[in-house]
Amino acid sequence: MKIKFKQSDIAGKLASVVRAVPSRPTHPVLANILLCADAQSSKVTLTTFDLSLGIHSTFNADIEVGGAIALPAKLFTELISRLPNGEIVLESDEAIASLTTSSGHYEVRAMDAEEFPELPEIEGDAIRVSARTLLFGIKHSSFACSDEETKQLLTGVHLKISEDSLEFAATDGHRLAIAQIDEEIAIASPLEVNIPAKALRELERVLLNSEDVVEVKLNEEQSVFAWRGQKLVSRTLEGQFPNYSQLIPRQFERLATVHRRNIISVLERVSVLADQKNSIVKFSLNSSSQEIVLSCISSEVGNAQEAIASGISGSDLEIAFNCKYLLEGLKSFASAEVQMHLNGALSPVIFTPVGGDKITYLTMPIQIRE
Amino acid sequence: MKIKFKQSDIAGKLASVVRAVPSRPTHPVLANILLCADAQSSKVTLTTFDLSLGIHSTFNADIEVGGAIALPAKLFTELISRLPNGEIVLESDEAIASLTTSSGHYEVRAMDAEEFPELPEIEGDAIRVSARTLLFGIKHSSFACSDEETKQLLTGVHLKISEDSLEFAATDGHRLAIAQIDEEIAIASPLEVNIPAKALRELERVLLNSEDVVEVKLNEEQSVFAWRGQKLVSRTLEGQFPNYSQLIPRQFERLATVHRRNIISVLERVSVLADQKNSIVKFSLNSSSQEIVLSCISSEVGNAQEAIASGISGSDLEIAFNCKYLLEGLKSFASAEVQMHLNGALSPVIFTPVGGDKITYLTMPIQIRE
């Protein structure tokens, strides 16, 4: 292989694919980046794969002799990132890759490209979804996933695609986040899959502000997202996702509207004095004064209370939450105001943004023992 | 105690004093910040002390009733940092401090101020040194200190003060950094002390770009730096600092001049392929081509070489260094160019900036086994 490219053409691509390289590879070749140069198309592809998540990226190069080689991912990425912006000539035989720049010469031990496993493919037609929709769905759901590996299915986001909308849902058993997006999708019949949150967060990172349309293929084993020569492949999670829509109450006895940034600031302050272990914050809804008093008590360090103006309909109520869950949910919203939909002190509470976004965040209250 | 102050007046002061709070206090009270309010001067002082390093800071407040209290450092700092910029009323009895803002009320368990140890004081007159001189000296020496606690004395910077100059020196046994600054000092007889690098780095942080004059008091046990109501106190390190001036060769057989940023970039690149353990980089000085070839070989991963233009006088030489030491030294300089003063392959090498700064960085070469 002998190819020529600019440092600036490869550096960004490397930085995105290297994230799928496992820190503890089960096979030595997985610690590598597969680099393939195709003389006919003048394209170089970079591939990484941890057997669950794979990323694939393409850039243009001047290809004198095509070929493929597996390069040590961490070292190669670090070296490229430190080379000056200018032309790099990469040559390789089976065991060594050499890089030549205007002033330097580097040799890196490589592995045979044949050893690198192929990324899974899915047969059939892709459906086309806008990157913007995927980004919105991921942002407003994935934070609510469980990070406990034993809860397998809950470490993923449940994705439902129908003719006219997509729905992303995630729960860790304590709270639930649902994002719905209206988009016309050319699809024969509705689809449901569970995609690991880790893979979606990588997709979020590589799509970053993209206005592209992404070709999506999904089945019970794999999910494939492809756009502009880039590709992200992830296994899907097997199993029956909880029937979350039945968790959402149909009617509410109380409604409170608050400024989102205000309540976030107050929660961040009062929670300094919450017990470290479960970080409980109490909400006291006062409809006559139209305010909510947020308070925390830590038996060891002290207590805090702060009032926040709120439009309240329904009778007064005392209800407590895990402060961390509230903050994560409220921070994921983008609206100026949020609405809390409540029933009793032990019933699930729904938060929704005021405005057009179809987002639902449900959290269970915590029983207060006085 | 009852005092009133602005959040913005206390927040920055807290952030600087809290750094002297020990993470594992030997006595519970040391995990606190001592807050003293003096009604007469309308000043509040904050003090922290880990029995080695103490920091003391002052701000103005509206003091209705003076007093003193020890507040849990981490919690109090965090709470204050999250309060909105506005007026805070702090009241305390012996066991509880309460903070009231426009919308909130906070109570924090506190400790009796009497338990908090007093910062050491030094009798006699202070000498006056510009903050700029202290900052320059610390910046160009402290990085070369040892961080091994067993090497006690070498974890400190040796400070020599005479009538017309200050000299800061630090060594970890492998390299040596010396910074000299000309400044007229009203001092009866020359002074030498060893100050822990940790304390000087804190001094650097709190002085940050200051143009003040600092009142300095030094003796064999303590060092005290005071300016504008702020004070930093540190124990000094006992013992005889190595006679470092005798390590510096008086004559050199070779001289090489290089662009500082260039050589830093090249070192950062080639060292990617250095052996992880001791990161050796070889310099090959070539006087006929007026360049230095820097190279690294790692038996496991590959090799690198890159040439850098250099004005060279003296015969050719191959010499090797620990790359980490070179980079730290070169990065501490501010000049565009640096000079390397060399004798043989096993003699100490001196780096100096080209320009006015009186900085000397000595590093020992590493013997190359081919």
Give which of B32, B69, B79, B85 to mutate to test A binding, by max A Cβ within 10 Å.
B79
Report yes or no: A153 and A239 within 8 Å, Cβ to Cβ. Answer: yes
Cβ B106–A268 below 8 Å, yes or no?
no
Inspect the interface and report whether the beta carbons of B104 and A303 lie closer than 8 Å. no
CB B107 within 8 A of CB B95: no
Size of interface A-B (CB pairs under 8 A): 96
Mutate to test the interface with A, among B14, B71, B103, B276 (most CBs of A within 10 A): B103
Contact across the interface for A79 and B269, Cβ inside 8 Å: yes
Q: What is the structure's pLDDT at A94?
A: 76
Q: How far is B51 from chain A (nearest CA, A)?
A: 24
Terminal-to-terminal C-alpha distance of chain B: 73
Q: Do A105 and B305 touch (CB under 8 A)?
A: yes
SS3 content of chain B, % helix, strand, coil (to 5): 25, 45, 35
Do A107 and B303 lie within an 8 Å CB cutoff?
yes
Cβ <8 Å between B106 and A303 = yes
* Contact residues, chain B to chain A, C-beta under 8 Å: 72, 75, 78-79, 82-84, 96, 101, 103-109, 265-266, 268-270, 272-273, 300-308
pLDDT of residue B299: 83
Chain B residues in contact with A101 by the CB 8 A cut-off are 306
Is residue A179 over pLDDT 90?
Answer: yes
Strands A311-313 vs B317-322: parallel, antiparallel or unpaired = unpaired
Nearest CB to B104: which of A78, A83, A304?
A304
B304 vs A106, A300, A305: nearest CB: A106
A272 → closest Cβ in B82, B305, B307:
B82
- CB contacts, 8 Å: B304 with chain A: 79, 104-107
CB-CB: which of A83, A107, A272 is closest to B269? A83
Q: Is the pLDDT of residue A277 over 90?
A: no
Determine the distance in angstroms separating the CA of B262 from the nearest CA of chain A, rounded to an integer: 10
Contacts of B317 (CB under 8 A, 6+ apart): B254, B283, B284, B285, B342, B344, B345
Convert the pLDDT of each residue in A80-100 to its tens digit: 999 999 999 999 987 899 999
Of A78, A303, A305, the CB nearest to B272: A78
Predicted confidence at residue A370, as pLDDT, reads 62
Neighboring chain A residues of B72 at a CB cutoff of 8 Å? 301
Query: What pTM was computed for the model?
Result: 0.90
Phi–psi pair at B228, nearest 5 degrees: 45, 50
Assess: ipTM above 0.85: yes
| Rounded Cα distance, B73 and B81, in Å | 12
Does the beta-carbon distance from A301 to B270 stay under 8 Å? no
Residues of chain B falling short of pLDDT 70: 370
Give the mean pLDDT of A347-363: 95
Please tell me which of the candidates B107, B301, B302 has its beta carbon nearest to residue A302: B107
Tokens of A217: 């293929």
Q: What is the 3-state secondary structure (H, E, C) of chain A?
A: CEEEEEHHHHHHHHHHHHHHCCCCCCCHHHHEEEEEEECCCCEEEEEEECCCEEEEEEEECEEEECEEEEEEHHHHHHHHHHCCCCEEEEEECCCEEEEECCCEEEEEECECHHHCCCCCCCCCCCEEEEHHHHHHHHHCCHHHCCCCHHHHHHHEEEEEECCCEEEEEEECCCEEEEEEEECCCCCCCCEEEEEEHHHHHHHHHHHCCCCCEEEEEECCCEEEEEECCEEEEEECCCCCCCCHHHHCCCCCCEEEEEEHHHHHHHHHHHHHHCCCCCCEEEEEEECCCCEEEEEEEECCCEEEEEEEECEEECCCEEEEEEHHHHHHHHHHCCCCEEEEEECCCCCCEEEEECCCCEEEEEECCECCCC
Q: How far apart are the CA of A270 and the nearest CA of chain B, in angstroms? A: 8
Phi/psi of residue A21, each to 5°? -75, 125
Q: Which two tokens stand for residue B367?
A: 């013997």
Contact list in A for residue B268 (CB cut-off 8 A) is 82
Angle at A166 between CA A165 and CA A167, to 5 degrees: 125
Q: Sign of the C-alpha dihedral, residues A203, A207, A208, A209?
A: negative
Contact residues, chain A, for B75 at CB < 8 Å: 272-273, 301-302
